[in-house]
Structure 1
Amino acid sequence: MYKKRRDAYLNNINDQSISLFFSGVSPQKSNDQHYHFSVNRNFYYLTGINQQNVVLMTLKGNNEAHSYLFIETIDPVKALWDGAGLSFEEASKVSGIDLTHVKDILTLKSFLNGLVSTNRRAAYGFIESLYLDLERQSENSAATQAGQFSSYVQTTYPYLNIKTNQLVLAELRTVKDEQEIELVNKAVDITYKGLNRIMDTLKPGVYEYEIQAEYNYVLNKHRTDTSFDTIAASGQNATVLHYVENDSKILDNTLVLFDLGVDYEFYCSDVTRTFPANGKFTKRQKEVYEVVLEANKKTIEWLKPGITMKEFNDYGKNILIQGAKRIGLIKEDAEISKYYYHSLGHYLGLDVHDVGNYSKEIPVGALITVEPGLYIAEEGIGIRIEDDIYVTKDGSINLTKKIIKEVKDIETYMNKN
């Protein structure tokens, strides 16, 4: 699987080039403490290896291409404290890279020097470009391993043309294979169980963080983690898109918006549901909820490959506009911006807000969220309904379909006892 992905990557970059991908390292937290390690997703996508301080090199030379892996040798003393890490043989097996191409990371710079020196040109040709995983969206890209290595190369090999491979990987990662969808489905299944526990325990008088703790309990039981900071927003808190304090008491006759997800072997779910605290929607809450639900369901039904992100956003937004007019929330189309102020969805995968070329049409195999919402601060109502949709050649498949969202289903479930 990982070799197939590396081959696809190599088919999309220039000849006579070297590419480097760094797994990353844990930043220091304080004194001898470090933050939890989170592997670089592009590196993981191409290798399947979850370990610090590992480098993937791909080489595209004279009519041939090769992959190399640079990894730390096992230190017996370090192994007593932190674990041994992967052996060369284990790294080879996981990544699918030939064992003879797995090398000590201390030899990376000398190996690179050999590739670009004159005595190796007969074998690989004149290397012109070095592709690095430079994160253009990050103001701190110089602090990354790729950024630091870029500075080293510019000084040592000024004739090499440094390029970023971000867009190439973004487009490749947009199209999910069967194994990726299987992992997302496992994340969704745990999310489903977590949301059911939320409905089982939600009631007026408890605090938002208490319900969040119930969700976390389910994730802990499955040895998984959240894919992003959980939003458990009651009443007017739900009109703040990125509310994460989760410290308010949940009052009677209010709605509670839960935007949450699961990280299952680095693949993410991202689901939003909005529930009545006491198990029963008021007339007004139901009225607004049904507008958002209509936008959610109709957009999912309409979503298909070949449409642009703009068309996707405009389609759902227009349904919200017509619904908001119907319930007397707005009179003019432009007024919708007061009550709906985010895009309709985003790509999903190894990251919650996954990489992808948003200027291109949505391809077959994309995984995208559909999450319309309405936020009426003056009424203390915030509603969003979000599903994870797999785009197929025939339309779309709702991976989160079993997570209930109809008014009658929610009320029946929450009042089953």
Structure 2
Amino acid sequence: MQAVVRKLSNRFSFKQVLGCRMYRTDKIVDIGQPTPESHPQLLKDGEITPGITTEEYILRRKKLLELLPENSLAIIASAPIKMMTDVVPYTFRQDADYLYITGCQQPGGVAVLGHEYGLWMFMPEAKPHDVTWQGQIAGVDVALDTFKADNAYPIRKLHQILPDMIRGSSKLFHNVQTAIPAYMELEAFQKLASCDKVRDLTVYTHQLRWIKSPAELKLMKESASIACQALLLTMLHSKTYPHERMLAAKVEYECKMRGAQRMAFNPVVGGGPNGSVVHYSRNDQKIKDGDLVLMDVGCELHGYVSDLTRTWPPCGSFSSAQEELYDLILETNKHCVELCKPGASIRQIHNHSVDMLQKGLKEIGILKGVGSSSYHTLNPTAIGHYLGMDVHDSQMISSDCPLKPGVVITIEPGVYIPSSFIGPERYRGIGIRIEDEVLITETGYEVLTASIPKEIKQIESLLNNFSHGMGMDCHSDMRATSS
């Protein structure tokens, strides 16, 4: 295998591939993403992405190689650019596995990892027209100098170099979600695939991403803090502006003003009966006086996301029916959080939540009995999921897997009663979810979203004592623009 590496390296010398390499001068070089030199307010020296050092990226690659079978090869393509119209792209978000291994936040690249190679990166080449319209991008030189690849080539040489690497491997792993024809159509790839020797790499990358490092946890705590602050201000805003779209805009504004690059997902802002739609996203209705609003929000900070939900009455007080249901969800939330510890599993916590909710809904009179088939209509969701670089992170890890320190999960019990539900009329059209982020620690848990109120008295006090007059100076202007 070493001979193959030497053969490939000799065939394509650095002089051949670097060509128009951007050499460092006194002028700061734009590589298409922030660096300590171009963005000292974001990155410290020695970091490839904010908060994550070169050493940590190299350690991730080493750990992945330790998981991969001997004489195997891993191929990870960057996320594709998705178009909104013929010339307008959606905002680009890098594939989490590609970012986790390389630190590259840009499209167009392919990373290859092997025991005999280390990390090889195939990078896009910037054309003058593209640079004029879209700006500079990372190339071969950046892959070597910034991302610390062991070898790098232009993407156009992929079809010349990769086949020999694949032929020298007995098994191949790749990220199925971002797989591209450029390597899948290679004869060498097809040959291994026909022998059932091609597998999904995420079985290993999700295992690594499941337990967060101290640096990752710092970013996740910051992301959670931003989302909590933003949602708190949005709750105060809701009494003056009880419109789903305005609350969605408010929370996004507050997140980005605090440093978030984007929302983790389109905010769920369900007023009244819309709150009973689990992933409601239209956000186009006025919230009626006396109705609850359910807001499920999260933001992304340097590759790490937050996810939390609060439900409250913008008018400032819960009705008796709303309070009954809210108390049940709140108690379930708190009991399930207390179950979070090393050795427990999401499945165990979920089963406990089902028992609590079924019993509570029966006592209230919404369900006829425990084990009623109607329960799954009122709550079709699981108690939670793993959280990290993606909202539903590390999905290859079973919910039966015992939790370990460094794992972050959500705890999000809820009840979603549609207006058409055959049951007591006073509960119809009510949707309630209370979601917290929970870090598993050596001794138990830490709630990362504890700063956002969830007790009824706290919420009512907040809305009635602190939201008066917020934005009133421009309220008449907002009414005019929304009419």
The alpha-carbon deviation at position 381 of structure 1 amounts to 1.3
State the partner residue of 1:342: 381
CA contact under 8 A between 2:241 and 2:247: conserved in structure 1?
no
SS in 2 for 1:390: strand
- Separation in 1, partners of 2:406, 2:82: 34
Picking from 86, 102, 111, the partner of 2:161 is 111
The alpha-carbon deviation at position 334 of structure 1 amounts to 1.7
CA contact under 8 A between 2:184 and 2:190: conserved in structure 1?
no
Picking from 98, 101, 126, the partner of 1:43 is 98
SS in 1 for 2:281: coil
The alpha-carbon deviation at position 154 of structure 1 amounts to 5.2
Classify 1:156/1:214 alpha carbon distance in 2 versus 1 (closer, same or farther; 3 Å). Answer: closer
State the partner residue of 1:129: 171
The alpha-carbon deviation at position 411 of structure 1 amounts to 0.9
Encode CA deviations 1:299-334: one digit per residue, 9 max, x unaligned.
111111222332121012212223223333334112
CA contact under 8 A between 2:122 and 2:140: conserved in structure 1?
no
Encode CA deviations 1:123-151: one digit per residue, 9 max, x unaligned.
xxx4212211113xxxxxxxx43466223
State the partner residue of 1:32: 87
State the partner residue of 1:366: 407
151-160 or 224-233: bigger deviation = 151-160
CA contact under 8 A between 1:129 and 1:162: conserved in structure 2?
yes
Task: Please tell me whether residue 216 in structure 1 is matched to residue 266 in structure 2.
Answer: no
State the partner residue of 2:122: 70
Task: Please tell me whether residue 90 in structure 1 is matched to residue 147 in structure 2.
Answer: no
Encode CA deviations 1:72-120: one digit per residue, 9 max, x unaligned.
244444322211112444333443324xx12222222222234356xxx
- Separation in 2, partners of 1:367, 1:229: 21
The alpha-carbon deviation at position 23 of structure 1 amounts to 0.9
State the partner residue of 1:180: 216
Which residue identity is paired with 1:311?
Q
State the partner residue of 1:226: 263
State the partner residue of 1:5: 60
SS in 1 for 2:253: helix
Instruction: Let me know the Cα RMSD of the aligned residues.
Output: 2.2
Picking from 455, 465, 472, the partner of 1:416 is 465
Encode CA deviations 1:34-93: one digit per residue, 9 max, x unaligned.
2322211110011111011111111124xxx51111212444443222111124443334
TM-score (ref. length: structure 2): 0.77
State the partner residue of 2:445: 396
Classify 1:156/1:404 alpha carbon distance in 2 versus 1 (closer, same or farther; 3 Å). Answer: closer
Task: Please tell me whether residue 265 in structure 1 is matched to residue 305 in structure 2.
Answer: no
Encode CA deviations 1:215-245: one digit per residue, 9 max, x unaligned.
1221332353211111111111111112111
CA contact under 8 A between 1:12 and 1:168: conserved in structure 2?
yes
CA contact under 8 A between 1:371 and 1:385: conserved in structure 2?
yes
CA contact under 8 A between 1:21 and 1:146: conserved in structure 2?
no
State the partner residue of 2:313: 276
Which residue identity is paired with 1:66?
G
TM-score (ref. length: structure 1): 0.88
- Separation in 1, partners of 2:241, 2:205: 47
Picking from 355, 358, 362, the partner of 1:318 is 355
Count residues in correspondence: 396
CA contact under 8 A between 1:76 and 1:84: conserved in structure 2?
no
5+ residue gaps, structure 2, are: 1-55, 420-426, 467-483
State the partner residue of 2:111: 56
Which residue identity is paired with 1:352?
V
CA contact under 8 A between 2:166 and 2:188: conserved in structure 1?
no
Map residues 159-174 of structure 1 onto 2, 5 A cutoff.
161-174=197-210
CA contact under 8 A between 2:183 and 2:189: conserved in structure 1?
no
CA contact under 8 A between 1:3 and 1:95: conserved in structure 2?
no
- Separation in 2, partners of 1:321, 1:45: 40
